[in-house]
Amino acid sequence: MQIKSEHLKSFVSEIFKSVGLTQQNSEIVADSLVSANLRGVDSHGVTRIPIYVKRLRSGAVNPNPNVKIIEESDATLLLDGDNGMGQIVGTKAIELGVKKAKQNGAVYIGVKHSTHFGTGAYFIEQAIKYDLIAYAMSNAPSTMAPWGGFQPYFGTNPYAFGIPAGKNKPIIFDMATSVVARGKIISSEAKGEDIPLGWAIDKYGRPTTNAKEALEGSVLPFGGPKGYAISLMIDVMSGVLTGAGFGPHVNNIYGDFDKSQNVGHFFQLIDINRFMSPDQFKERVDMMIDEIKTAPKAEGVEEILLPGEIELNIEKDRLQNGINLGREVYESIKEVGLEVGVDIETYQTL
């Protein structure tokens, strides 16, 4: 089921409009989801439509949040996301933040009372257009034990950053702080496949290659105790400092339909122009990129990649050739569409 990204975006936008979002808010959510698919991050793309729609229809998420500034200083913003979709709340945060960063040089933005925000890269893309260096992080429902434990405490707390470049494409990097997303283990279990050692531990805290046992245990942080530390830091900034939930006090997106998630986010925007001219900065970034791309390659390596370059290459391909959703995802969003009166078949497939 190959579909052009602009057609998919129109379809997704119609779905969210039909469950109560304004035109503008629907477009933001559609844009975020399809952007994830374009970049090859299908776990955060249109596959999320059924759960998002379910939460909106159950009243667990506010379709049109009134995002408010609660605290403000020259260099900081604290926002209440009014239990809106994280994509909408985060977009508002970036809009307010860009203004402040361009005025005052930089900003730190805390957000509480939000929900799953999709990919961090989506916000990074919005911000770096303004010659800003940008960071986006968020906490998430528990799936990862503290190092030495086995009971999930932290989420896979994503960390994303963006660095503008000149003649080269900007560097946009977006990662989970777990070795892999829990979704990959669910998918292995469904197929009856083993998982590689190092992805997860079982319910006794023992390393396991058994997907079922892993799901009863915990995913592992990337880089061992160092990744654990970074995941904790993200939860402190996104959850503890903002007044959002943290650790197991962030509610599950796939349950708790009578409760708001109270996810927290944290963004950072830095105006390059307060350090050096953006042109000079971009020349220096280009120099770093060129030096890395032309560095001698290890045996068996075809090309040295920059952080986020895999996603960039997929995006180039999918913008041109469309997005292949796979039958299962296609059917699931088709079904949701029909429930709310939007037929994907009327949107042109390739």
CB of 230 to a copy of itself, least distance (A): 8
Amino acid at 264: G
Task: Considering the complex, state which of residue 163 and residue 325 has its C-beta at the smaller distance from a copy of itself.
Answer: 163
Contact string 290-309 vs a copy of itself (x = CB under 8 A): -xx--xxxxxxx-xxxxxx-
74 sits near a copy of itself (criterion: CB under 8 A): yes
Number of residues that bind a copy of itself (CB under 8 A): 77
Asked if residues 78 and 114 have their Cβ atoms less than 8 Å apart, the reply is no
Task: Give the residue among 122, 94, 137 at the shortest CA–CA distance from 234.
Answer: 137
94 sits near a copy of itself (criterion: CB under 8 A): no
CB of 148 to a copy of itself, least distance (A): 4
Task: Considering the complex, state which of residue 258 and residue 303 has its C-beta at the smaller distance from a copy of itself.
Answer: 303
Which of 181, 183, 248, 349: binder of a copy of itself (CB under 8 A)? 248
- DSSP letters spanning 52-105: HHHHHHHTSSBSS---EEEEE-SSEEEEE-TTB-HHHHHHHHHHHHHHHHHHHS
Which of 38, 93, 134, 201: binder of a copy of itself (CB under 8 A)? 201
Contact string 204-233 vs a copy of itself (x = CB under 8 A): xxx---------------xxxxxxxx--xx
Q: Is the Cα torsion angle 44, 88, 267, 276 positive or negative in sign?
A: positive
Amino acid at 62: N
Please list, in sequence order, all residues whose beta carbon lies within 8 angstroms of the beta carbon of residue 72, skipping any fewer than 6 positions away. Answer: 78
CB of 242 to a copy of itself, least distance (A): 6
Please list, in sequence order, all residues whose beta carbon lies within 8 angstroms of the beta carbon of residue 21, skipping any fewer than 6 positions away. Answer: 29, 56, 63, 64, 85, 88
Q: Which residues pair with 106 in a beta bridge?
A: 270
β-pairing, 200-201 vs 171-175, is unpaired
170 sits near a copy of itself (criterion: CB under 8 A): no
CB of 244 to a copy of itself, least distance (A): 10
CB of 311 to a copy of itself, least distance (A): 12
198 sits near a copy of itself (criterion: CB under 8 A): no
CB of 144 to a copy of itself, least distance (A): 12
Which of 276, 319, 338, 350: binder of a copy of itself (CB under 8 A)? 276
Distance of alpha carbon 160 from alpha carbon 123, whole angstroms: 9
Task: Considering the complex, state which of residue 8 and residue 101 has its C-beta at the smaller distance from a copy of itself.
Answer: 101
Residues 122-151 that bind a copy of itself (CB under 8 A): 133, 145-151
Q: Determine how many CB atoms are found less than 10 A away from the CB of residue 309.
A: 17
Distance of alpha carbon 132 from alpha carbon 161, whole angstroms: 11
Amino acid at 176: A
CB of 268 to a copy of itself, least distance (A): 8
Which of 51, 167, 196, 275: binder of a copy of itself (CB under 8 A)? 275
Residues 3-32 that bind a copy of itself (CB under 8 A): none
184 sits near a copy of itself (criterion: CB under 8 A): no
